[in-house]
Each structure stands twice: as C-alpha cells, then as structure tokens.
Structure 1
Amino acid sequence: MDLFCYASLVSLLFVIGVSFSLYFMFYYNYKPTIKGKLPPGRKGWPVIGESIEFLSTGWKGHPEKFIFDRMAKFSPLVFRTCLMLEDTAVFCGSSGNKFLFSNENKLVQAWWPSSIDKIFPSNQTSKIEAIKMRKMLPNFFKPEALHRYVPIMDMITQKHFTNEWEGKDKIVTYELTKNFTFWLACKIFVSIDDPERVKYLSIPFESIASGVLSIPIDLPGTPFRRGINAANFIRKELIGIIKQRKIDLGSGKASPTQDILSHMLFYRSDEDGKFMEEYDIADKILGLLIGGHDTASSACAFIVKYLAELPEVYDKVYKEQTEIAKSKVPGELLNWEDLSKMKYSWNVASEVLRLAPPLQGTFREVITDFMYHGYSIPKGWKLYWSAHSTHKNPEFFPEPQKFDPSRFDGNGPAPYTFVPFGGGPRMCPGKEYARLEILVFMHHLIRKFKWEKLIPNEPIVVNPMPSPAKGLPIRLYPHNAQS
C-alpha cells in the first residue's frame, strides 16, 4: 500500500510539473487581447489557480471565507479568480444574482467543470441536455403530481423511522438522513423501495458527489477517479433496472405513468422524434438521484442540529406538528393540505437552508462579451455565484449568524437574496419536491423524539455539501418514554 501511494504521489507531482511548464510557456509567449478593464482580483497558482483555497475553505467549514475575503479586498460586486482550471468572475450580492438569473441564455449559459463530463459522459452537450430535462421534469414536479407523492412520502418516512431510529439510544444523524432521502428518491423516481436494495445502491453516491466538484486529476486514489468509478457502477445497475422496466411495461406489470423512469422510456425528442437511449436515461436518472439525495439529506441533518441547539424553536415546531397530528384519524396519512399548514416549520427549514445551503453556488459560461459595473467580462470566461454572498451578508440578513425563522414571515427576504435553490430559468425544478420531503421528515422526527447532540461543538465541513464532521451523533429520547 505504501508503494502504491508513493507511486501515485510521484505521478501527481509529474503532472503538476508538466502543467506548470506548459503554463509558463503559454503565458510568456501569448498576450491575450481583452478590451476594457477586467474585474479586480488574482489568478493564484499557475494552472490550478485558486481552486485549492476555494475548496479548502469548505473543508475547514467556512466556505463563505473565500468569497468574503475577496469581496473585502477587491470588490463587493464582482472579482476575478481562477477556479477549476478556468478564468472565473465571481458575481456577488443580490445584484449579481439578479444579473445572472435574468440573463440566462442571453449573456450566459449553464456550464459545469470538466469533471462533470467525465462522470456523466452523455451530458457533454450540457445546454441541450439541460433543456431536454426541463421539458421532461415538469410533469413530475408540478403541483398536481406532487399532491400524489405526499402519502407515498409519508409511508416511506414512517418505515424509515421504524427501521432506523426507533428502539435506539444513539444514532448518527447524517448517515440516516442520507438513507432516508435516497430511499425516497428511489421509490419516487424508479419505484424501488426495498431497503436492502436501496442501501446497496446508495453506497457509491458519496464518492460521486465529491468527484463532481473535485480537481479533475484522473489518477488512482483521487476523489475524481473514485467519482468516475462510482458513477460507472451505479450506471450499470440502472441500465439493468431500465431493461427490466421495459419488459414489465410490455407485459403490463408496470405503468407508463408510475414514475420518472417510465416517463423517460416513453419520451420522444421534439427535434427528431427518437426515444432516449438506455445509457442516456441511466445518466439522467443518476443525476436526479444525486440531486434528490445529497441536497435534502444535508438539509434534514442540519434541521436536527439546530433543533437540538434551540429548544424554544423545537417547542414551536412541536406545537405546530402536534396540532396537525391531532386533526388526523389514527392511521391517516399526511396530505397536501397538512403540509400547507406547516408554516412555522418551513420557516425553520428555510433558515437552515440560509445558514447551510446545500447548493453553495453554481457556474455559468459567458457566451458574448459584456460590461458589468464598469468591468469587461470576456466571452468564454466562467462565472460563479455563491449563495453565501447574500445568505451570510449583514446587508441582507442582519446578524447573519443568528438563527431567526421570523426572517421568513410575511413576504420574507428581499428578492435575489435567499437563493438555496438558485434562480431564474435554471432554478432547481425539484424545489417543491424538496420542501415536501423535508416537511414530512420534520413531522415524524419531532412527533417521535427529543434529542441531544453528543458532540457539542462538532465542526462543519463542506465537500461539496455541508455536513457535520462526525455525522452529528445524537442521543434519542422517545416522547412515549419521557416523564
């Protein structure tokens, strides 16, 4: 093992050395012609730029530090850097969010680091694939469809707490919230609800998420290589599920409208009328499972964290959820109307999403030169927006580190300041789905337990989702066992 690690290190140093050499050869002999003044900032190290510092502030639990340090040093509106091997302008504040969200496919378009194309090979024409997905998904995420999902979510949630929480004195929260959200996604997206099958499929997902936003060095042992391997494993399993679904649809054992997988199998392209290839469907289902798994599991874990720390908030959520439970007859499942009554609970969840947004930010690509606040933004540059530039900014949220659900009373925060799901045409289409699963989770969690953290000052890491460093171990106190 030591010899293997040494060989990997030597290979990595060789690649970095060659990259440095190419960088200096290129920049000493090439002078770009860019009209106008570029945003203030710095590029950082040759080739890798400031990617390591950008990622490491998250690993240390303070992803906003990278953003706010440069906002203070260079500009609170926009600054220049180099991320994921690309020249990048970081747009900050509500004005930056508004500009990017309002100019989608006019001045900017979606862009993902090259690591995405390696992990999701069929998505290399990202813009086209994104448009295709957004045509397919509304049928499943529109209100009428979501009404139908609430009782299903309730059944899965009850099974989850029965299997994973009840009868235990201590649990590791983040491990179980990941199990919960993945089980729910498997059930609703591909109709898999066997717990053992779900666990078997869930094991590689953490590697995929880490690989997506890693530096794309494809060497043994790197997060990028582990992400590729994990995606290949899941994709192979999904193709097997797709083949079986085709058989079941042909024999009448499955319904054309039962889940997203069936819908994709019947979907024809508007351009050429062709059905999607199995590999393409597998890639898209893989992306949806990641989206439905990582973001909500992080949010649910932080809800547990903050409710443990804030008993007065816990009591208000408990009161609201108890009133809803009393309105139900024994055994009756939750419905859409019940969730619409969980206003304070959703304010609490929103404040969690403000302080620990699962989506830290995303990239865009400049498709034509433009000026922004007097600075030239060249075609081909990458843009990045960060939720933290508003979420933790006292200009928009006074006392930003204070947990205050009342921020979301009435009309809530100012436009373009609360952006846990992005915004504009590329706002997360699963936003309402996430709201439902979080509220159903909160209902059963708080109706069943009180709890306390076993590590009082447990640090937070962001890689790429925020999570408690030790998984948030807690001691459970079932309500029926309390004095």
Structure 2
Amino acid sequence: MLSKMEVFLATILCLFVSIILLSLHFLFSKSKPRAAAAAAAHPPGKTGWPVIGETLEFLSTGWKGHPEKFIFDRMTKYSSLVFKTHLLGEKTAVFCGAAGNKFLFSNENKLVEVWWLSSMDKIFPSNETSSKEGAIKMRKMLPNFLKPEALHSYVGIMDHIARRHFADRWDNKEEVVVFPLAKSFTFWIACRLFVSIEDPCEVERLSAPFNRLASGLISIPIDLPGTQFNKAIKASNLIRKELLSIIKQRKIDLADGKATPKQDILSHMLLTSDENGKFMSELTVADKILGLLIGGHDTASSACAFIVKYLAELPEVYYGVYKEQMEIANSKARDEALSWEDLQKMKYSWNVACEVMRLTPPFQGAFREAISDFSYNGFFIPKGWKLYWSANSTHKNPEFFPEPQKFDPSRFEGSGPAPYTFVPFGGGPRMCPGKEYARLEILVFMHHLVKRFKWEKIIADEKIVVNPMTIPAKGLPVRLFPHKP
C-alpha cells in the first residue's frame, strides 16, 4: 500500500515527465505550411503551462470571488472581442461582448455545437443531452411542460410548496442560512413537477446526494476517493438507483391507471417514442431526469439567495418589492393562492431579480466546440477548438451597462438591455428552455419572503464564490424580523 507521500511524489513525477515530453514535441515537431499560417492568424493570447494551460487561474478567480477578472484582464491585454487560452485540457477561444454572444448563439449547430467535458460521461453514463441529436430529442419533449398552459398550472403548485416551505423552515426562526433553504425550496418544486415527489422527507433524503453531485459537476476530473469528482460519481449512482426504482413503479402505475400520461415529465418520457417507434431505456430516462432535476433548481436557488443579499443591502429596493407584493397580497382572500395574473403584475420585482442575475449570474458562461474551420473578426478558428462565452463580458461591461457595479433595476424597464448583452439563461437555440419556469419560482419565492420578513445580513462582507455555480461563501446567514400582523 503506497503512502500519501509516495502517491503525491508519483503524481508530481508524472506531471514533470508529461511537461518534458510535450515541450520536446513542440520544440522539434515540424508543422505543415497551412498549420503554421493558421497558427499565425489565431486570436491573440497565451496558452499558459503545458497540459494544464490557464485552467487553474480560470478556476481560482472564481474561487476568490472575482470570476470576471480572468476575462477582463485578457480582454484588456489582448482583444475585447476574442482571445485564445487553454482551458480544461483544450485549446480555447473566448468570445467576448454582445457580438461574440450573437455569433455563437446564432451559429448553434451550424459552425458550433455544445461541448461538455468527457469526464461527464462518468456522471451521466447514458446521457445524450451533450450530443446534438440527444439535445434535439430532449428539447422536443420539454415544450409540453413549458408551454403557457402548463406554466399557468404550475403557479398554484409552486405557491402551495412555498407556503409549506416558509412555514416549516423560516417562520418562528430568529436566524436562517439562506442558500441551503433556497436550494431546498427549488429542489422541492422540481421533484414535485418532474417526478411527482412532494413528501418533504423524501425530497430531503434526495437533496443531500444532489448537492454532492452539483458540487462535483465541473470539478477537476480526478476519480480518487475523497475528491469532489469521485463524490459526484457516487452521488449520481445513488440517485440513479432511486430514480430507477421510481421509474419501475411509475410504469406499473401507468399500466394500472394509477398515474396519468400528463402527470409530469417522467410519465411523458416513459410514453413517448422516437420517430422509429423506439422508447428510451429506463437508464436513459433516469439520466435525463437526473439532468433536469439539477438544471431545474440550481440556477434559481442561486438567484433566490442573491435576491435576499441585495434586498438586505438596499432598503429602498426592498421597499419597492415589498410595496408591489403587498398590493397583490392585499387584493386576495386570506389563503387564496397566487395566480398567473398575479405574477404578471410583479414587474418591479422581476426587474430586481434580473439586476441580481446581471451582477451575480448563476452560471458564468458555457462551452461550445467548433464543428468546422471558420473565421471570426479576422482570426482563424480551427475545427475542434473549444469556444467559451462569458456572461460577465457583457454583464459587467460599461459599454453595455453604464456604471456596471451599481444596482439599478430600471435597466430592465421598457425594452430592457440591448440584445445579446443580458444572458443569464444563454441564448439562441440552446437558450435555457426553463427560463419562464425559473421566473415563476423566483417570483413566488420573493412574494412569500417579503410579505413575511425584513432581514439583515449577519456577515456584512460575505464573499461571493463560483464553484461552479455562483454562491455565497458562507451560505448567507441572515437575522429575520417578522412583519407584525
């Protein structure tokens, strides 16, 4: 059995040998004329260390609470439109600004397609959603559950869960830690709407492995005991086992008439075949539900937590939200649920939520892959290069948002920001299909929060970190002050 020190030394030796071999390769290899010409025309920038490139600096700026620093330092030094780097083991071009977003979003499945780390296959072994075909299949299924009439029906369910959530987890408490509660709220809604799990004990039992899975999704892919990546793999296997059990029971319930085809996304997946009449395997359904449960609550929980942060810091903004929400609350009977029409009246509240997501976007950006050679802004991008768009390259850019660090919900009045500048949900064919779903649960959360409490932050200067989602470093503990009846 090797000691920890022996393992460490062996790892360092392997890395050193790899660096030497790569250096020799680059030094003595003779490039073809076309490759040399193309290399000269690549975007400006540097690729950092052999093998690891600039990955550690890219990740560490997020860990330190300044995720935009990596992008803006290079925009200043090399180009405000596009620069090259080396991230996650891949040659990468970072597209910046509204023009870069527009180019990538409008060329989806033409010049570029979505890209995920190959290590994701260990977490989602049968997942197809990272491939072009799988993504198309998945997006064909979702509209039935995200069209207006379906969303209308979700408001009452979200309101019901919010009442239970706040009664159980917030009421009669002097202090709470916000981020775990926000995750609990959005995860409960996702479980109810996607797989019809509503029992809070069952939801809580599933939430712990989901948190481990989310933390390891974009971690360093080292599958050794104790690493985040290893914990994520184990968590995904545990959740998948639970989902397979639910799937088998649902098939029985559908056959016996105890469940309905339109009950939730799970039923729809089990009863929907492709154009060849083939149904998805139980394992594939489990992985797709797993992915939806992650996507269906992580981004909204981040937004909800930071809404609490900014409303604590900005009393005038809190008052504007409180006034709007109490007008709605006072127009309803005592226990009457929120309706679709109520949420359409929450214009100022949604402007506030959008400004929160501008300043602290739940996800910093996403990767694409070049599926053919192309030119952009006079630079050559080879097929196979990875491409990255960054929300902060526009969200915190004074060219698009004057005084970008200032909290100003009025930016979203009228027609709002210019196209391709506000991108917390991405854009183009791969814009998050759950954008409207997220809007509903965020507004329901805000309504039940402000009509119950004012609050103050316990840690005045709590750091914001990215790992891989934007979160408060200490979970955002707050002291609650309930409104008098």
Band of TM-score, shorter chain? over 0.9
Matched, 1:252 2:270: no
What are the within-5 Å matches in structure 2 for residues 122-271 of structure 1?
122-123=126-127, 126-270=131-275
**Does the alignment pair 1:304 with 2:308?**
yes
The answer to whether structure 1 residue 54 and structure 2 residue 58 are counterparts is: yes
Equivalent position SS for 2:334: coil
1:269 maps to amino acid = D
2:409 equivalent to 1:410: no
Matched, 1:16 2:15: yes
Cα distance in 1, alignment partners of residues 119 and 162 from structure 2: 34
Q: Is this contact kept in 2: 1:92–1:385, CA < 8 A?
A: yes
Deviation at 1:251, TM superposition (A): 1.4
For 1:345 and 1:370, the matched residues in 2 are separated by 42
What SS does the aligned partner of 1:113 have? coil
Contact conserved, 2:109 with 2:132, CA < 8 A, in 1? no
62-71 vs 26-35, which moves further: 26-35
Aligned to 2:407, what secondary structure does the other structure show? coil
Question: How far apart, CA to CA, are the structure 2 residues paired with 1:89 and 1:210?
Answer: 26
Distance between the aligned counterparts of 2:451 and 2:266, measured in 1? 33
Deviations 1:328-351 (A, max 9, x none): 112111111100000000000000
Instruction: Please name the residue that 2:403 is paired with.
Output: 399
Q: CA deviation at 1:209?
A: 2.2
User: Within 5 A, what are the aligned runs for 1:447-466?
Assistant: 447-466=451-470
> Displacement, 1:352?
0.5
SS of equivalent residue, structure 1 residue 385? strand
Cα gap change, 1:39/1:127 in structure 2, threshold over 3 Å: closer, same or farther?
A: same
Matches within 5 A, 1:102-121: 102-121=106-125
Q: Hey, what does 1:442 align to over in structure 2? A: 446
CA distance in 1, matches of 2:313, 2:96: 31
> In the TM superposition, what are the counterparts of 1:372-387 in structure 2 within 5 Å?
372-387=376-391
| Separation of aligned partners in 1, 2:364 and 2:280 | 31
Tell me which residue corresponds to 1:43. Answer: 47
Partner of 2:283: 279
**AA paired with 1:366?**
A
Q: Judging changes above 3 Å, is the alpha-carbon distance between structure 1 residues 15 and 273 closer, same or farther for their aligned structure 2 residues?
A: farther
Give the total of aligned pairs: 478
Q: CA deviation at 1:117?
A: 2.1
Consecutive unaligned residues in structure 1, runs of 5 or more: none
Pick from 323, 326, 339 the counterpart of residue 330 of structure 2.
326
Pair 166,78 (structure 1): closer, same or farther in 2 beyond 3 Å: same
Give distance in 2, aligned partners of 1:349 and 1:421: 13
Secondary structure in 2 aligned to 1:203?
helix
Q: How big is the shift at 1:17?
A: 3.5
Measured after TM superposition, the shift of residue 189 of structure 1 is: 0.5
Tell me whether 276-285 or 13-22 shows the greater mean CA deviation.
13-22
Q: Which residue among 457, 468, 478 is the counterpart of 2:482?
A: 478
How far 1:114 moved relative to its partner?
Answer: 1.8
Give me the identity figure in percent.
Answer: 69
Which residue number corresponds to residue 340 of structure 2?
Answer: 336
State whether residues 115 and 215 of structure 1, in contact with CA within 8 Å, keep that contact through their aligned partners in structure 2: no
Say which is worse superposed, 214-223 or 7-16, in terms of deviation.
7-16
- 3-state DSSP of counterpart to 1:121: coil
Aligned AA for 1:253? K
1:220-253 Cα deviation digits (max 9, x unpaired):
2222222211111111111111111111111111
Judged with a 3 Å threshold, the aligned counterparts in structure 2 of structure 1 residues 19 and 129 are, in CA distance, closer, same or farther, namely: farther
One-letter amino acid matched to 1:242: I
Which amino acid in structure 2 is aligned with residue 192 of structure 1?
I
Superposed displacement of residue 196, structure 1: 1.1
The answer as to whether partners of 1:458 and 1:468 remain within 8 angstroms in 2 is yes
Q: Does 1:317 align with 2:327?
A: no
- The runs of 5 or more residues in structure 2 that have no matched partner are none
Q: Deviations over 1:384-416 (max 9, x none)?
A: 000000000000001101100000011000000
Counterpart of 1:114 in 2: which secondary structure? coil
State the SS of the aligned residue for 1:242.
helix
| 1:367 corresponds to which of 364, 367, 371 | 371
Contact (CA 8 Å) 2:162, 2:448: kept in 1 or not? yes
In the superposition, relative to structure 1, how do residues 387 and 237 fare at CA in structure 2: closer, same or farther (>3 Å)?
Answer: same
Q: 1:57 to 1:165 in 2, by over 3 A?
A: same
- The superposition leaves residues 122-148 of structure 1 with CA deviations (integer Å, 9 ceiling, x where unpaired) of 125622211111111111111111001
- SS state at 1:474 partner: strand
Q: Could you tell which deviates more after superposition, 202-211 or 346-355?
A: 202-211
Equivalent residue for 1:424?
428
What amino acid maps onto 1:110 in structure 2? Answer: V
1:8-44 per-position Cα deviation (integer Å, ceiling 9, x unaligned): 5345435533532443354344445254300000111
Name the CA distance, whole Å, in 1 between partners of 2:374 and 2:304: 40
Asked if the contact 1:8–1:219 (Cα under 8 Å) also holds between the matched residues in 2, the reply is no
1:94 aligns with 2:98: yes
CA distance in 2 between partners of 1:178 and 1:332 (Å): 25
Instruction: Mark the CA change 1:251 to 1:19 in structure 2 (over 3 Å): closer, same or farther.
Output: farther
Give the letter for the 2:200 counterpart: P
List structure 1 runs of 4+ shifted beyond 3 angstroms: 3-12, 28-32
Q: What is the one-letter code of the residue matched to 2:23?
A: F
Aligned mates of 1:4, 1:343 — CA distance in 2 = 60
Give the partner amino acid of 1:238: L
Q: Distance in 2 between matches of 1:4 and 1:156?
A: 50
Q: Secondary structure at the match of 1:123?
A: coil
Q: For structure 1, which segment, 121-130 or 382-391, has the greater mean C-alpha deviation from structure 2 after superposition?
A: 121-130
User: Does the C-alpha gap of structure 1 residues 16 and 236 become closer, same or farther in structure 2, counting only changes over 3 Å?
Assistant: farther
